[in-house]
Amino acid sequence: MMNEQRDAVLEVTGMTCDGCAQSVSNALRSAGVEEVSVSWQDGEAKFIWPAAMSEDALRSAVSHAGYSTGRLRLPIQATVVSPNAENDYDLLVIGAGSAGFAAAIRASEAGYRVGIVEAGEIGGTCVNVGCVPSKALLRAGETAWSVGHNPFGGIASSLDSVQLSQVLAQKESLVQSLRQTKYVNLAQEYGFSILHGHASFISKDAVAVNGKPLTTSRILIATGSSPAVPPIPGLLQSGFLTSSAALELSEIPSTLAVIGANAIGIELGQYFLHLGSKVTFIDVAERIVPFEEPEISAALTDVLLGQGAVIFASTTIAEVSASPSGRVLRLEHNGVMETILVDQILIATGRRPNTSDLRLDLAEIATSSSGAIVVDDGLRTTNEMVYAAGDVTGAPQFVYVSAYEGTLAVDNALLGAGRTVDFTALPRVIFSSPQVASAGMTQAQAAAGGYDVVTSTISLDAVPRALVNHDTNGLFKLVAEVGTGKLLGASIMAESAGEVVQSAVLAIKYGITVNDLALTFHPYLTMSEGLKLAAQAFTRDVSKLSCCAA
């Protein structure tokens, strides 16, 4: 129950017209809320929430009117923090990765004194052992594979060998350059301090770095995450690669087992597959990339199998052991025990928040069962002077999410902005070959959220760019709301899918309908034309359209 009357926004699904909006408005007014404004196009109701009304009563009123409720958003209570010359810093950031640097830049631009504490390498996961080095190696792997798998007649090509040491040296040069120009140099440019050492709380409002106490008005925890290792019997004793270690592997393993077939596992597994390894993907889920649309999983499975991979889905690993010939995995697959022998094992079963040695208990900061820091919609922790951003909160593990949250946390912690986290239309990309990119909700997620949906799916043989490329492995799938036609989700498997999906991000964020998308210009012989064709496929048979038919 609320302590005071506050503005509120409630997400409502199932509305398709002005009459629906009026029904929701009447239900809320009858329940006792005030100044109601309902938009069926935006799927939300804005109102003043009286102190005497419970949240259950609020949701029940909408439910009885025949609609479903989603997130209840409240304004973040925040105050502007004035620079304090008596403190060492106005903002102390723990962690010098994407979230930490985005926060430091925003605070420095606003005139605050900022210190960043980092116990390891400046730049965090992305530039050092994540996005930058992995995508550089993935492109190298794709290039090696394409040399021997050219789809064009009359062009002979062959690959004698891969000098992996040279590939790694080029990757490391890129990492060092970006770390210097995009992180280290910026500290001097913006005038904030980098403190090398380990930070931990010593009280609710104080942090020590290498044992030295520091005073600050606000603290931001942005310590990121690390590869999680599953408790498989014998795994630790037998040895394995994490995603970070795989990026430094100087010899191509003849055989490789990848445990975990989501984004990281697929990307790195295919990298070694392209370099000549015989790769086996293993996952407990019933299909690879299980958070994507089933059609995407099936299409990517076909590609990997065609490139020589072996896939065990719905599979658990009973035991791992070492032998003179390599590492032995005992698998339970469809009720049958199987044994495979590999040179190396790559663990790609997710990441865990880096919170174990921060002494959060001394600061009265709550964590979840996974160790993630609990935050509200404004990224404030259970300690009102401490905020957290990025992977350490359990947020979607993308570098652009971390940077977004780092900036948002500073806006709230120091500037009193009252911003709330909004992941509507959040894009995600798997840098496989071909790429997989998605935005918004899958069909299953939309249905679970109370939406009545309709979908369209086209294979890449309907997209002229794919035909010209002689590569039709892939598809486009769109999810729209029945009645309004608003685009709710998009999934793409195609060359450059990560670039193409941005148009869908904007369409979802701003409520564009699939009809609007179908009537929008898309350049011919680009992969983005697939979005237009998929939108047209809601009402037309695109196989019966001429080139560029509108």
The angle formed by the CA atoms of residues 476, 478 and 479, to the nearest 5 degrees, is 155
**Residue 53 annotated in active site:** no
Q: 């809601």: which residue's tokens?
A: 538
**Residue 67 annotated in active site:** yes
Which two tokens mark 155? Answer: 């062009």
DSSP labels, 331-378: EEETTEEEEEEESEEEE-S-EEES-TTS-GGGGT--B-TTSPBP--TT
d(CA 477, CA 508): 14
Contact (CB, 8 A) for 259 and 349 = yes
d(CA 373, CA 468): 49
Buried b (16+ CB within 10 A) or exposed e, 492-518: bbbbebbbbbebbbebbeebbbbbebb
Among 67, 89, 271, 387, the active-site one is 67
Exposed/middle/buried for 139, CB within 10 Å: 0-12, 13-18, 19+?
middle
Among 89, 112, 126, 271, the active-site one is 126
CB-facing half-sphere around the CA of 530: CA atoms within 13 A: 33
CA-wise closest residue to 429 among 135, 127, 125: 135
Contact (CB, 8 A) for 220 and 90 = no
Among 20, 441, 493, 527, the active-site one is 20
d(CA 65, CA 67): 6
**Residue 385 annotated in active site:** no
Among 1, 510, 524, 548, the active-site one is 548
Among 15, 441, 493, 527, the active-site one is 15
CA-wise closest residue to 399 among 171, 142, 129, 181: 129
Among 1, 53, 112, 131, the active-site one is 131
**Residue 510 annotated in active site:** no
**Residue 131 annotated in active site:** yes
Mapped onto helix, strand or coil, the DSSP state of residue 62 is helix
Exposed/middle/buried for 55, CB within 10 Å: 0-12, 13-18, 19+?
middle
Which residues 6+ apart lie within 8 Å of 67 measured at CB? 12, 13, 14, 15, 20, 23, 24, 450
Cis peptide before 434 (omega within 30 of 0): yes
DSSP lists the bridge partners of residue 33 as: none
Q: 């099936």: which residue's tokens?
A: 298
Q: What is the radius of gyration, based on Cα positions, of the chain?
A: 26
**Residue 2 annotated in active site:** no
Which residues 6+ apart lie within 8 Å of 64 measured at CB? 27
Residues taking part in catalysis? 15, 17, 20, 67, 126, 131, 547-548
